[in-house]
């Protein structure tokens, strides 16, 4: 019996050796835990993973591998598992903290699998360091192949051992049980692998598949074994597989590739396959073993990244901004088409070049190189933008005004990888801004400096005279006979005359001097650093030049003159308004003294009474504005086509109440007495704003009494006010008044004298929803072609044509022509100065749409209108 037992013991010893050897070659750290929770065995990977020397883990408590703060929780988890042991696939459990011998912790995935033996239920723990999952996965894939090969080799040996054991009757039952246990153990190791594992013959007949493989294809293993997997492929795939299998050789026993396979439920998954070939002694392939790792998540991420990159590329190609990207050394990596166009460099030519070669920028004003925004953001790690006035010089020398921003491109570790520069062409915008700045300080008709800018320069001259004793001179020029040209030849002739006067005078002065248009036919001249005697000589030369000039228009010749008032600017000079007043008085004196001459203002000079009174009136007008003595009056505008003459809107008119004194309760001052003064001394802009605000406020407060629209007059001064539109919009918002309830009236003369500004203003007001009327139409003898430019809704026919329409056939014919022409253009007409019933009837016969005059109501305060 002893001799008979020796083969059995040897076989059992060999089985134990095979089992331990199998654990040692496993791709994961594996621990065998006995029922008491102690480690019965640990393979080499487990000892290395936990930092123990060989054999040191055996006998240790499983709890010693768990950090102290988690031991109680994890020990309980293991106890729960022992109570209900069941297989756990690798990777199904959560990541846990594990403890190495040196006290360091690492993140691990642990799965338990029961191992039933004659001694009881042991637990096989598979431990993975997920912090280095990629490396372990690769090792697992290689080890899986080795394991399978060794398993196959061992399986043959076991069969031989089993045959020998059958001869040992005494040990038969024990040996068979050991073999079954070992086989189950080996299969369990393979079956629990989450990867797809199979073996097949050179003709692709499957000889083995693990559970994961069978589940993936939705078939039990027995239905797959013996089948050729090539039969399930498309013809093109069959050819590829045959070609690839034929390429295996002893010197090339393995290959790796990615393949997309459709699962049994129709869902496609990507796998990374490792194929291994086993060769016989002649070098002919006998078997193939394949392990497939699911990489679908990685492929999805790659595809998402590729799609995102494609979207980014399409976006960069389609956006209107120019985009340049660089690396961390500021070398160009990419230009989109807009950047190619602006820089003059193609993407291919620019790639790899320093950004400074492709993106050449200078300061517009001093032509010095502008700071590089990309260099700034690469150095400082923040966004950067260009200074104002930056110009991009294209490769062909063309220049663009640009605006830009640059930002760093960072990697996952926040390290700067490069920069992205986004810029766009703002040449047109800057040109428009320059034009706006120019328009704000220059007269639109002549291109000369306007009154506001002239006053600023005059103020600087006064300051230099007071501080440094500099001597300057200011002249006030008023053209003689201008009104004759304007009234007889029309506004177009008057405009041309002003332009020619500008051309005539501009070349006579130094660059430091300032010639400005400060009124309709009035000019200002500031002579910088010019003593009085020299200024007088210059002014007399101007008088002589204009006196000898002849203006020609449509076959007629006009003689023009000029009267000039001259005021020296010294350290004792008054302020700017006082100097202008003195120059104006001196100019008036020159006119009263016979015109075409220069008069130098002297403090002892007497001021002509009419002019002096007008100047005082300007001061009083300013005081009235400040003291709130302006009053709104309203006159109805009615519809002539309705029998009851329904009121459709009220024109807002202005009066000035007298201040305290004998005239306090007398009739208020009419516009004819103060509007010319306000226009001459630059007060109309402030008055217009006061009227707009006061009319909006009263209309909102008392709208229940009237319920009709307002007609508000705008002066020629306001047409050049750049901020007026913002003011009007703010008043609409403040009082909640609908723009459709307001009609703005602009006189024909003001509109034509400021045609460009008037058109711009009207277009925006029209966009708001306001209505527009051209007032006093026909008074300026202007061509009707202006109406095609101005976006008006109504023409108000000048009262001079209406007043005597019954007795004057010419007036009647003119009104009929204006009315017919207006209707042809889609405009409605309003007749002014309607004072009796016969006039009303005649207007109705002519088809005039609306009327306004004393017959329907005199101007009156709101509560009396």
User: Shortest CA distance to 82 belongs to which of 60, 103, 113?
Assistant: 113
pLDDT grade, residue 193 (50/70/90)? confident
Output the CA torsion 376→381→383→384 (10° steps): -10
SS3 431: helix
Average pLDDT score over residue span 181-201: 78
Asked if residues 387 and 374 have their Cβ atoms less than 8 Å apart, the reply is: no
164-173, 653-662, 683-692: least confidently modelled range: 164-173
pLDDT grade, residue 140 (50/70/90)? low
pLDDT grade, residue 402 (50/70/90)? confident
What integer pLDDT is reported at residue 598 of this predicted model?
Answer: 93
What integer pLDDT is reported at residue 776 of this predicted model?
Answer: 80
Say yes or no to pLDDT of 1 above 60.
no
* C-alpha to C-alpha distance for 624 and 80, rounded to whole angstroms: 97
Ordered by where they begin, the domains of the chain are: 2-186 (3.30.450.20), 195-300 (3.30.450.20), 319-425 (3.30.450.20), 433-607 (3.30.70.270), 621-864 (3.20.20.450)
Residue in this structure with the two tokens 């992205």, named with its chain if needed: 420
Percentage of the chain beyond pLDDT 90 is 33
Say yes or no to pLDDT of 23 above 80.
no
What integer pLDDT is reported at residue 683 of this predicted model?
Answer: 84
* C-alpha to C-alpha distance for 462 and 452, rounded to whole angstroms: 15
What integer pLDDT is reported at residue 707 of this predicted model?
Answer: 58
Average pLDDT score over residue span 108-112: 85
What integer pLDDT is reported at residue 327 of this predicted model?
Answer: 92
pLDDT grade, residue 627 (50/70/90)? confident
What integer pLDDT is reported at residue 160 of this predicted model?
Answer: 72
Report which of residues 278 and 170 the model is more confident about.
278
Secondary structure letter of residue 217 according to DSSP = T
Asked if residues 849 and 641 have their Cβ atoms less than 8 Å apart, the reply is: yes
pLDDT grade, residue 474 (50/70/90)? very high
Query: Computed from CA positions of residues 489, 490, 492, 493, in that sequence, does the dihedral angle turn out positive or negative?
Result: positive
- Pairing type for strands 285-294 and 268-279 reads antiparallel
Residues paired with residue 526 on neighbouring β-strands, in sequence order: 474, 514
- Pairing type for strands 39-42 and 95-99 reads unpaired
Average pLDDT score over residue span 460-477: 92
pLDDT tens digits along 760-799: 899 999 999 999 999 888 655 455 667 777 899 999 998 8
Angle between helices 684-701 and 609-627 (to 10 degrees): 40
* C-alpha to C-alpha distance for 543 and 59, rounded to whole angstroms: 122
Report which of residues 98 and 266 the model is more confident about.
98
Cα 513 to its chain centre, rounded Å, is 44
* C-alpha to C-alpha distance for 140 and 442, rounded to whole angstroms: 83
Given its phi and psi angles, is residue 159 left (phi above 0), alpha (psi -120 to 50 degrees) or beta? alpha
140-149, 284-293, 405-414, 571-580: least confidently modelled range: 140-149
Say yes or no to pLDDT of 667 above 50.
yes
Close Cβ partners of 145 (under 8 Å, ≥ 6 residues apart) = 254, 274, 276, 289, 291
What integer pLDDT is reported at residue 229 of this predicted model?
Answer: 86
pLDDT grade, residue 615 (50/70/90)? very low
Q: How many CB atoms lie within 10 A of CB 59?
A: 11
Annotate 755-801 with DSSP letters as a single string. Answer: HHHHHHHHHHHHHHT-EEEEEEETTT---GGGGGTS--SEEEE-HHH
List b or e across 494-509, with b for residues whose CB sees 16 or more CB atoms inside 10 angstroms. bbbbbeebbeebeeeb
* C-alpha to C-alpha distance for 555 and 330, rounded to whole angstroms: 69
What integer pLDDT is reported at residue 630 of this predicted model?
Answer: 92
Residues paired with residue 256 on neighbouring β-strands, in sequence order: 274
* C-alpha to C-alpha distance for 65 and 71, rounded to whole angstroms: 9
Angle between helices 724-735 and 755-768 (to 10 degrees): 20
Close Cβ partners of 32 (under 8 Å, ≥ 6 residues apart) = 23, 39, 40, 41, 42, 115, 122, 123, 124, 125
* C-alpha to C-alpha distance for 421 and 384, rounded to whole angstroms: 9
Asked if residues 818 and 802 have their Cβ atoms less than 8 Å apart, the reply is: no
Top-confidence range, 72-76, 138-142, 181-185, 647-651: 647-651
What integer pLDDT is reported at residue 484 of this predicted model?
Answer: 79
Asked if residues 358 and 345 have their Cβ atoms less than 8 Å apart, the reply is: yes
SS3 410: strand
What integer pLDDT is reported at residue 613 of this predicted model?
Answer: 47
Cα→Cα distances 835→74, 446, 801, 803, 840, Å? 107, 41, 13, 8, 8
Cα→Cα distances 149→25, 145, 278, 400, 668, Å? 11, 6, 9, 72, 117
Can you read off the two tokens belonging to residue 58? 């055996």
Average pLDDT score over residue span 845-857: 94
pLDDT grade, residue 18 (50/70/90)? very low
Angle between helices 133-166 and 2-24 (to 10 degrees): 170
pLDDT grade, residue 857 (50/70/90)? very high
The beta-strand segments (E) located in 90-161 are 95-99, 105-117, 120-129
* C-alpha to C-alpha distance for 288 and 205, rounded to whole angstroms: 10
What integer pLDDT is reported at residue 623 of this predicted model?
Answer: 81
pLDDT grade, residue 699 (50/70/90)? confident
Average pLDDT score over residue span 593-600: 88
Secondary structure letter of residue 62 according to DSSP = G
Report which of residues 316 and 543 the model is more confident about.
543
SS3 656: strand
Report which of residues 750 and 290 the model is more confident about.
290
SS3 481: coil
Asked if residues 418 and 327 have their Cβ atoms less than 8 Å apart, the reply is: yes
Burial of 236 per CB tally in 10 Å (0-12, 13-18, 19+) = exposed
* C-alpha to C-alpha distance for 820 and 235, rounded to whole angstroms: 86
Say yes or no to pLDDT of 628 above 90.
no
Close Cβ partners of 382 (under 8 Å, ≥ 6 residues apart) = 376, 408
Cα→Cα distances 714→521, 637, 725, 785, Å? 20, 18, 12, 22
The reply to whether 521 belongs to the active site is: yes
Which ranges constitute the DSSP H helices of 482-599? 482-489, 491-506, 532-547, 576-592
SS3 606: coil
Cα→Cα distances 292→173, 216, 217, 289, 770, Å? 39, 11, 13, 10, 76
User: Shortest CA distance to 212 belongs to which of 289, 294, 268, 156?
Assistant: 294
Q: How many CB atoms lie within 10 A of CB 773?
A: 26
Say yes or no to pLDDT of 11 above 50.
no
* C-alpha to C-alpha distance for 2 and 342, rounded to whole angstroms: 99
Percentage of the chain beyond pLDDT 70 is 85
What integer pLDDT is reported at residue 662 of this predicted model?
Answer: 44
pLDDT tens digits along 477-532: 999 888 778 777 888 888 999 999 999 998 899 999 999 998 888 999 999 999 99
* C-alpha to C-alpha distance for 59 and 42, rounded to whole angstroms: 10
Asked if residues 365 and 395 have their Cβ atoms less than 8 Å apart, the reply is: no
pLDDT grade, residue 12 (50/70/90)? very low
Annotate 333-401 with DSSP letters as a single string. Answer: EEE-HHHHHHHS--HHHHTTSBHHHHSEEEETTT-PBPP-HHHHHHHHSS-EEPPTTEEEE-TTS-EEE
Average pLDDT score over residue span 402-427: 85
301-310, 367-376, 728-737: least confidently modelled range: 301-310
The single residue of 425, 521, 688, 775 carrying the catalytic annotation is: 521
SS3 556: strand
Close Cβ partners of 262 (under 8 Å, ≥ 6 residues apart) = 268
132-136, 259-263, 343-347, 701-705: least confidently modelled range: 132-136
Can you read off the two tokens belonging to residue 835? 């004072």
What integer pLDDT is reported at residue 168 of this predicted model?
Answer: 64
Residues paired with residue 362 on neighbouring β-strands, in sequence order: 369, 391
Cα→Cα distances 95→106, 107, 224, Å? 10, 6, 35
């Amino acid at each position: 019996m002893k001799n008979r037992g020796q083969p059995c013991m040897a076989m059992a010893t060999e089985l134990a050796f095979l089992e331990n050897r199998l654990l040692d070659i496993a791709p994961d750290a594996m621990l065998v835990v006995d029922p008491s929770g102690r480690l019965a065995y640990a393979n080499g990977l487990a000892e290395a993973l936990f930092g123990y020397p060989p054999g040191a883990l055996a006998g240790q408590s499983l709890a010693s591998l768990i950090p102290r703060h988690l031991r109680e929780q994890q020990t309980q988890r293991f106890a729960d598992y022992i109570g209900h042991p069941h297989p756990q696939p690798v990777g199904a459990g959560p990541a846990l903290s594990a403890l190495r011998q040196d006290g360091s912790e690492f993140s691990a995935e642990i799965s338990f699998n029961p191992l039933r033996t004659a001694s009881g239920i042991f637990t096989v723990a598979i431990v993975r360091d997920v912090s280095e999952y990629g490396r372990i996965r690769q090792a697992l894939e290689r080890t899986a192949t080795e394991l399978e090969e060794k398993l196959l080799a061992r399986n043959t040996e076991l069969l031989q051992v089993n045959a020998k054991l059958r001869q040992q009757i005494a040990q038969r039952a024990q040996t068979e049980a050991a073999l079954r246990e070992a086989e189950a153990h080996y299969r369990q190791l393979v079956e629990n692998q989450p990867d797809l594992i199979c073996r097949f013959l050179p003709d692709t007949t499957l000889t083995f598949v693990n559970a994961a493989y069978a589940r993936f294809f939705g078939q039990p293993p027995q239905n797959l074994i013996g089948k050729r997997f090539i039969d399930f492929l498309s013809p093109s795939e069959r050819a590829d597989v045959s070609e690839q299998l034929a390429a295996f050789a002893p010197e090339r026993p393995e290959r790796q590739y990615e393949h997309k396979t459709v699962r049994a439920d129709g869902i496609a998954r990507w796998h990374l396959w490792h194929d291994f070939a086993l060769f016989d002694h002649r070098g002919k392939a006998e078997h193939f073993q394949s392990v497939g790792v699911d990489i679908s998540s990685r492929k999805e991420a790659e595809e998402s990244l590729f799609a995102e990159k494609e979207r980014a590329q399409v976006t960069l190609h389609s956006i209107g901004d120019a985009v340049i990207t660089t690396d961390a050394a500021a070398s160009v990596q990419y230009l989109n088409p807009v950047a190619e166009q602006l820089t003059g460099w193609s993407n291919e030519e620019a790639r790899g070049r320093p950004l400074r070669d492709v993106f050449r920028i200078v300061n517009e004003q001093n032509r010095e190189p502008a700071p590089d925004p990309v260099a700034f953001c690469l150095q400082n790690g923040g966004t950067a933008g260009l200074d104002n006035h930056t110009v991009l010089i294209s490769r062909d020398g063309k220049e663009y005004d640009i605006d830009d921003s640059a930002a760093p491109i960072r990697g996952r570790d926040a390290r700067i990888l490069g920069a992205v520069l986004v810029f766009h062409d703002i040449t047109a915008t800057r040109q428009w801004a320059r034009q706006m700045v120019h328009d704000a300080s220059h007269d639109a008709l002549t291109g000369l400096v306007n009154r506001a800018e002239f006053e600023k320069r005059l103020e600087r001259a006064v300051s230099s005279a007071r501080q440094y004793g500099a001597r300057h001179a200011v002249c006030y020029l008023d053209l003689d006979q201008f009104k004759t040209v304007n009234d007889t030849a029309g506004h177009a002739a008057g405009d041309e005359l002003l332009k020619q006067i500008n051309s005539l005078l501009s070349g006579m002065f130094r660059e430091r001097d300032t010639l400005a248009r400060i009124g309709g036919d009035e000019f200002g001249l500031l002579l910088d650093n010019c003593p009085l005697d020299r200024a007088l000589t210059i002014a007399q030369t101007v008088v002589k030049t204009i006196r000898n000039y002849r203006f020609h228009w449509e076959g007629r010749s006009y003689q023009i003159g000029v009267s000039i008032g001259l005021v020296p600017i010294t350290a004792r000079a008054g302020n700017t308004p006082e100097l202008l007043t003195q120059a104006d008085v001196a100019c008036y004196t020159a006119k009263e003294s016979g015109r075409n001459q220069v008069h130098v203002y002297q403090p002892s000079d007497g001021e002509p009474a009419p002019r002096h009174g007008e100047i005082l009136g300007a001061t009083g007008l300013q005081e009235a504005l400040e003291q709130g003595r302006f009053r709104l009056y309203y006159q109805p505008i009615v519809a002539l086509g309705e029998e009851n003459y329904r009121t459709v809107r009220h024109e807002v008119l202005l009066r000035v109440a007298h201040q305290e004194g004998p005239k306090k309760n007398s009739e208020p001052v009419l516009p004819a007495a103060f509007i010319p003064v306000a226009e001459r001394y630059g007060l109309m802009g402030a008055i217009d704003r006061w009227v707009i605000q006061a009319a909006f406020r009263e209309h909102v407060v008392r709208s229940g009494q009237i319920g009709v629209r307002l007609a508000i007059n705008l002066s020629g001064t306001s047409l050049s006010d750049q901020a007026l539109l913002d003011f009007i919009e703010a008043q609409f918002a403040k009082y909640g008044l609908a723009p459709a309830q307001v009609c703005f009236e602009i006189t024909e003369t003001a509109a034509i004298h400021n045609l460009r500004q008037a058109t711009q203003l009207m277009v925006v007001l029209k966009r708001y929803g306001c209505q527009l009327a051209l007032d006093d139409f026909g008074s300026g003898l202007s061509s009707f072609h202006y109406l095609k430019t101005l976006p008006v809704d109504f023409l108000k026919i000048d009262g001079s044509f209406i007043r005597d329409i019954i007795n004057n056939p010419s007036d009647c014919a003119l009104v009929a022509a204006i009315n017919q022409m207006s209707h042809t253009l889609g405009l409605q007409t309003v007749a002014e100065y309607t004072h009796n019933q016969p006039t009303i009837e005649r207007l109705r016969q002519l088809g005039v749409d609306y009327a306004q005059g004393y017959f329907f109501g005199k101007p009156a305060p709101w509560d009396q209108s």
